[in-house]
Structure formats: structure tokens, C-alpha cells
Structure 1
Amino acid sequence: MNIKTLFFGITTDYVGASELHIDVEENTSIKDFKSVLKQKFTQLENINTYAIAVNEEYATDGLILKIGDVVAVIPPVSGG
């Protein structure tokens, strides 16, 4: 299953793109998707935590991805 994945902030630098299509097995959870990301892009381990949104809504680790979903990887944001 091919999942459109958008990267923001420092994650764009770590993966070298702002958008990629990532192949995963059917019934992949967000928790499993994060593991796939860390295996493919080891520099993501430099970030302690990041949020995942699916179809523009924040997702929990238990959410199962479906065909056509768009995943966003959102790093921590600081500002002033």
C-alpha cells in the first residue's frame, strides 16, 4: 500500500524531501508507520518526538492507515 507522506520543518532536511510515497503493508498502524520511517530515515532518531497527522487530523499510534490516506510528519515547534 502506497502512502503519500508530507514532511515539515527539520524532518524535510532529514529525509531530503517535503513529500514522498512510502510503501507499507495493509493494516499498518501509526506506531508501525513510525518504525518504518525510522528504519528508512535513521536521522529521524535525532528528534525526540514528532506528531503524525492523517488527513489533516492528529493521529494516535493505534490508528490503522488506509489506501488514499495522506500522512504528515510534524516536528516539535518552538517560537517566540
Structure 2
Amino acid sequence: MPDLPTPQDDAEAALFSESWDAVLAYAALCASGAATAHRLATEAFTLGMREVRAAGRTHVRGAGRSPARLPTIPALLTAVR
């Protein structure tokens, strides 16, 4: 099975711990087995983290703007689909 994505900060770790079970459960509904579901969920998180990290490198923070955040559970579930 692929390795789980490694969170690089507290925000990523919090999202991962809050969302992993829901994303894995949804992936299990979409997949033919546990290994495939785990792979789908891992790919969703890996893609989400990669996109946010890339956006963070190119995003210039201005007054009143918050830093980029990882996708929420609905976005991760969409990535599984």
C-alpha cells in the first residue's frame, strides 16, 4: 500500500486526523476492496496537500488574507470520486 502523506505542519496534521476516517469510509464505498479504498484515500490526501503547498509557494499574502488551507472534507471526498 502507498505510504500516507506526511503532514508538514499542525494545520495539515489536524486536517488529516479530523478527515481521514471520513475520506477512507467514502473511498471504501467507491472501491472493490480495502486496499483499493486505502489507495484512493491516500491519493486524495496526497493530491490535496500537493495543491495547497504549491498554492502556498505562489500565493502572496496581503493584509487581511489568510494562508492557503488544505481542502475540507467535501473537497477530499470529491478527489476520491
More helix per residue: 2
Q: TM-score, normalised by structure 1?
A: 0.26
Q: TM-score, normalised by structure 2?
A: 0.26
More strand per residue: 1
